[in-house]
């Protein structure tokens, strides 16, 4: 049985590594979908996928093969040891906000009660400049490499 049915997918976005910009760049994507799972069970499945792809847990913010996060889950508010919903720093991250706006242009933060454009407008100029939407031809090439 499919545990996550993808309804929308953003384009791919490339950003510098954080916090060490000398590390390889990140490629980010946002998915919107439906699931039969509760948030914790979904997170457990996503962590298994990360492991199958080759993620090895190291130090925080180190380069990694894959990092899958739950950003929002039907506006549910949740605070557990391994999962906080909505994601606590989503409104500060260009690599979350730009793809999220693409698939959900009217999205509203369930705690801060602000629409996504508000957060995008609050980003500093560097956050606007350093994110790049990867063109379709580059996406096709990237997918062949993977």
Which residue ranges form the domains of the chain, and what is each CATH number? Answer: 4-145 (3.30.70.560)
Binned at pLDDT 50, 70 and 90, residue 103 comes out as: very high
Give the pLDDT of residue 23. Answer: 87
Binned at pLDDT 50, 70 and 90, residue 2 comes out as: confident
Minimal CA–CA distance to 97: which of 139, 133, 135, 47? 133
Give the pLDDT of residue 17. Answer: 86
pTM listed for this prediction: 0.87
pLDDT tens string 29-47: 999 999 999 999 999 999 9
């Amino acid at each position: 049985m499919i545990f996550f049915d993808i309804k929308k997918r953003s384009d791919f976005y490339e950003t510098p590594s954080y916090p060490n910009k000398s590390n390889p760049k990140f490629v980010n994507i946002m998915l919107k979908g439906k699931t039969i799972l509760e948030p914790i069970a979904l997170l457990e499945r996503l962590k298994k996928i990360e492991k199958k792809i080759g993620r090895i847990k190291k130090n925080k913010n180190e380069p990694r093969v894959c990092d899958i996060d739950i950003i929002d889950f039907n506006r549910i508010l949740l605070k557990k040891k391994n999962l906080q919903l909505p994601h606590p720093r989503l409104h500060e991250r260009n690599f979350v906000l730009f793809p999220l706006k693409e698939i959900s242009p009217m999205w509203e933060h369930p705690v801060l009660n602000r629409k996504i454009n508000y957060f995008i407008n609050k980003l500093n100029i560097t956050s606007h400049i350093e994110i790049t939407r990867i063109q379709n031809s580059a996406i096709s090439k990237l997918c062949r490499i993977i």
